[in-house]
Every structure is written in C-alpha cells, then in structure tokens.
Amino acid sequence: MGTGTQNDAVEDGQRHRGDAQFTGRTLLIRSIVLVTAVLGLNYIVWRWLFSINWDAWWIAIPLVLAETYSLIDSLLFGFTVWRLRRREPPEAPPGLTVDVFITTYNEPLDLVLTTARAAKAIQYPHKTWILDDGNRAEVREAAEAEGIGWITRSADWKDMPRHAKAGNLNNALMTTDGEFLVILDADQIPDPLLLHRTLGYFTNEKMALVQTPQVFVNVPDSDPLGSQAPLFYGPIQQGKDGWNAAFFCGSNAIIRREALMQLGVTRYVSELELALHKALRTSGKVIAKAKKNLGPENQRVEAALDLVAKDLRRVRRRLQKGDGISEVTYEFQQRVTAVTRTLVAADIAAFREDLASLADLGITGLDADLEGASAGTPGLAVVDDGALDQLAQRSWSPLAAIDTVRVLIESVNADRGGEAQAVMPMATISVTEDMATCMRLHSLGWESAYHHEKLADGLAPEDLNSMLTQRLRWAQGTIQVMFRENPFAQKGLTIAQKLMYGATMWSYLSGFAAVVYIAAPIIYLIFGILPVDSISTEFFLRLIPFLLVNQLLFAVVGKGVKTWRGQQYSLALFPVWIRSITSAFGNVYLGRSLDFAVTPKTLQQDAQLRWDLVKPQLWAMGLLVGAAIVGLIRMLTGQADVLGTSVNIVWVVFDLVIFSVIVEAVRYRGYEHYQADIAKAKARQEAKG
C-alpha cells in the first residue's frame, strides 16, 4: 500500500467526528459483526452435524476443523472491532523528563545517525541515546561528535544470556533515569512532534504505554512484500485499544519508566518465590525418599532428617506470613549446615571403623550425588521442572539428601547468578520482547493507548529473504509467549484482554488450516474424493452469505484501507507460520536453540532470483495447476461431476491468485529498482508523447 493512502487513513482517524456519525458507524459495524457470527455459526454447525463425508474422514475432518478455525478467527476479529476507539491526545504537560532510545546492533552507521539526528531534533526537551548492542567504536565516535548519548552492554553481561533487543533495553534502563522512554528501531525516523502528540496521554497516571503506527517509506504502491499493515495499525489496534489491550509493537512507542520498573521488580519477586516453592516441594520429596532407605538402627539419622523436614515446613509458614526470602533461606541454610555438622561429628568414629562397609554401601554413589547436586545449582535457579522431578525420584543416601536440600535452597538466591541483571523489566521469554512485556503490564493493572497518527518514517525489508526472516521472528516470538505465558492463564487480565492477546496468537495457527485448504481441492480434482456429503443448494445458501458478509465487515471496518495484501500473505506464508510453531515448541519444551536474527535494513538480495525460498509455495501452485488439468480431463470424459469440478476449479483459481504474490515477491528487486523502473516507463511515455 502506498504511503499516501496510509497517511489519509491515519489523518482520518485523528479528526473529530460528531457523536451521531460515530455512533452510526459503530452500530453498522456491530450489526455486521452480529450477522457474520450468526451466519458463520449457522454454517459451521450444519457442517459438523449434517455434511461431513465420513467415508473420507481423513480429509473431511481436517477440512471442517480448518473451517472452524477460520470462523473462530473471524469471530475474534469481530470482537476486536466491536469497540473501535479513536483518540485525540491531551496537551503534553511541560517539565517531564524523557529518554529517547535508538536500538541498534549491526545496522549501517549512516542509517543509525539519520535516526539519531531526527531523534535529537524532537521538539520536546529530552535526551537521545544510541543503544549500540554491537559495541562499535565508529558508532561511539559519531554519537559523541553529534552530542548524542551512547550506551553499550556493561561488563556484567559478559558470558551471560544476552536476550537480544530486550537485553539491550534492560541494560540501558539501568544507566538512564528519564520518567518516560521513547523506543525507536534504528530505521524509524521520528517526527519532531512525536512527544508533543503523545505525552499528554500520560496525564492518566495509570497509562503505561502509548503505541503509534509503523509506516514505511520505501514500499511501492503495490507493496509486493506486504510490509504495510494498515489493517493492524488502524482498526485492529483501535479495536484492541477499546478493550485496553493496545499492543506494544517494539518501536515507535512511549513507555512510563515507573511501570516498567514495577513490572521488573514484581516479576523478579514472583519468579524468586516460584523457584523457592518448587525447591521446597522437591526438598520435601528428597527427604521422604531418603527416610525410606533407613533401617531401624539409624534412629539418629532419621531424627536429623525429621528435623530438616520440620525446618522445611517452618520455611513455608514464614513465607506465607510474608517474611523476606533472603532472611528465611539464609537461616534455613545455617540450620541445615548445623544439622549436617552434628550428624557427621557424632558418626565420624563409626565411619572410620566401618570404612569397608561404607564402600560396599556405595560411597562412590554418595559422592556422585553430592557432585551432581552441586553441579545442578545454576540450572535450578531457573527452575527446571524435569530436573526437579528427577531429583525427587532418585534413591538418596541420608547425608546426600540433606546436602541436596541445602544446594536446592541455595540455588534460589537473590543475586540471579545466571543473569547479568537481577531485575529485567523488558520480558526475555521470547525472541520478541514487545507482546510479553505489554501483557505483563496489563496484568498489573496498567493501561495502554494506541495513537493513530504517523509520527515516524520507517524502512521495510527490501528483499524476500529479509522479509521472511522478519515474519518468522515475529511469529516465533508470539508463539513462545503463548507456550510460556498463555494469556488465558494470566491473573490480572480481563476476559477481553485475554481474548485480544489470544486472537493475535491464534492467527499464527493459520498455516495448518492453509495446508488443508490447499489439499482439499487437489484431492477432489485428482481422485474425485469429496470431503462434504454433497455440493448441494443448501451448502451454497449457508456458505456464500457468510463469506460475503465477512468481506463486507473488512470493507466497512477498513473504510477504504487496502487489506488484500494482508489476506494474501496470511495464506501464502503458511510454511513460515508452521515453522514458527514447530521451532517455538522445540525451543520451549525441548530446549532447542532459537537464533535471533536482526532484520536487514538494506537490500540483501543479489541478481539471482531466490525461488528456493518459496519451494513449498511453488509445489503447492504446481499441484493446484496439475489438479485443475486432471479435473478438467475427468469432467470432459464423464468421470467427474460438472458442478463439483467447477466449484473446485474456482477454489484452485482463488488459491493461485493468493499465491501470485509470492511470484511478485521473488521478482521484487528493492525500492530503488522500482523507482528506476517507474522513471524509465515515464520517460518512454513522454518520448512517445
């Protein structure tokens, strides 16, 4: 989409509207949402109850599941736009302190400096900082020459998890002190009025975050890579805003420092408490397991184990009363050390006399137990449930059990030895920090706002490979959050907020539905296997009205905004969406690494067309074309039903139109080439004239 259309939509959203006009449009949208829901439910209930071809259940069930998925997606969209919110900001109050952060890793120096100079020129008083995660000398020298602050990672981050952009921001938070933060990617050139147009929202003391649109200036009108997102940075964000669920999108946002720091401290304390409670539960199991191995002659050892168990119960009671974690755990560790010392001192003579028998009982195993417990200390600070379960199930000798309990409790410490910083305000649970951070802020009762006005000019990926890298990272980050902090399990979020976060996560499951939508017509045209009972008049009377009204909803909500590219890429990028889910699952549940890749801000593609990047889509297109040819031959020879074949060929044509964007994306050579081609075409036209 061209920037002119985007700007028109943004400006239109900023104009005041009369109550009657606003109410009229709202009523129209809500009426269409209700009609869409009724027609969609009418269709899908009928499909489940009366139209499944059970003889071909292996494709019939996946198809109706895909249709159910699409209906839920449509209902979530309808719920989102039910409360579209259009804001006009209050006047920015004077005297606030602001830090403008420009995050960078390996972007070209001139690009970073262009953004930094524009940030420095923001009219509201502020400090500008380049957060240089690449620690480049040339960036530092250029920043100092421009009178711009420069921050890189402190020495504390050496050999520690870096957490990508979230770690970069967390590091900077600890070295600055502005009341408010502006977060900009290195390619987002801010408007001088950015702060004047957004700081007024923070007169609401509960406002934590204000997000503005991301609009890209290096995108042709045809938007071959689908970079512009006018539906998201418009009706969707405005709808989420109506439910107090407007998202933080990683850049072009203003955040209240107090909210972030409260979030960081709250998460630190809650995670520490969670780790301690898990360690206490495991410790109790370890002691109980050790007691089972004792004979009747080991009364003193049993008494020592009982004493440790009693101390564990005392720790739980003190934590429930609100006593400090550090104090409680320190006193417990001292008592356990004393118990161990007394037990060893009393039995040292017996140990010497029975050295041979001790060897037979497995002193080597005891040493291994102690060594394994000590070696596990850093990992337990992160609370690995699988490791804790294994500890609880092992066969423990008494002294090893007591020492393991000590190690378990010591592993939960206030220093967070496995991290560079104890407090991490920006969420580090995914490769994208924005959604998780915002969701946590909302769960604490903070509010967010979406300001629908273009206040920065960004740069979009200029080649297919860069675009795919970007979309994969976005999707992986979202799915990681879904697996680690499912919004429906989060306390503090309203039902509407849970649905808003869930809707975004739900959308990335479309890759699996897309596979079914591609496979169904291919199977029918080649093999004549129909996933529905019959293609009847009732089928069309239920399906077509739903599809038409659903598209009407997009048209009315978008109000002239082009949404076709977004619809194309939601299907055409199905391999990316599927990979994001499988890779995020492997990372969260199987411990596999998930590399973070910064999206290149300049053209990376060489002269060779990268068809290899879209092999699954090309295979799908080839199969669709081949299936259509086979279907026509079967129909002309009387082997296939005319109506069924015609319907499925129309379906194939629709899929091919969707996938045509992939061909355009591969052939796209960047914005400069696009402008050059336009100039040449204009010159030829003038020459002919």
Non-local (6+) Cβ contacts of 653 within 8 A are: 628
The tally of CA atoms less than 13 A away on the side-chain side of residue 16 is: 4
User: What single-letter DSSP state applies at residue 236?
Assistant: I
| The residue to which tokens 């003190």 are assigned | 318
351: helix, strand or coil: helix
Q: Which amino acid is at 550?
A: N
Determine which helix (DSSP H) or strand (DSSP E) holds 25, and give its type and residue range: helix 19-46
Contact assessment for residue 425 and residue 170, using Cβ atoms and an 8 Å cutoff: yes
Q: How many CB atoms lie within 10 A of CB 521?
A: 25
Amino acid at 539: F
Strand order in the sheet with 189-190: 189-190, 456-458, 215-216
Give the model's pLDDT for residue 301: 74
Segment holding 584, helix H or strand E: helix 574-590
Rg (the chain; Cα; Å): 30
| DSSP helix/strand/coil, 106 | coil
Spans in the chain with pLDDT lower than 50? 1-21, 349, 351, 354-356, 358-382
Please, which residues have CB within 8 angstroms of residue 602's CB and are 6 or more apart in sequence?
Answer: 108, 111, 462
250 near 165, Cβ under 8 Å? Answer: yes
- Per-residue pLDDT at 366: 40
| CA separation for the pair 74, 43 (Å, rounded) | 13
List the structure tokens of 420.
């560079």
Strand partners, 130: 102, 150
Q: Which domains does the chain have, with CATH numbers?
A: 21-83+506-578+609-688 (no CATH), 98-264+429-462+470-488 (3.90.550.10), 274-411 (no CATH)
What is the pLDDT, as a whole number, of residue 601? 58
State the pTM of this model: 0.83
Query: Which tokens go with 234?
Result: 């418009």
Count of residues in the chain? 689
CB proximity list for 539: less than 8 A, separation 6 or greater = 51, 532
Q: Beta strand 207-211 with 253-256: parallel, antiparallel or unpaired?
A: antiparallel
127 forms beta bridges with: 99
Interatomic CA distance for residues 686 and 672, integer angstroms: 21
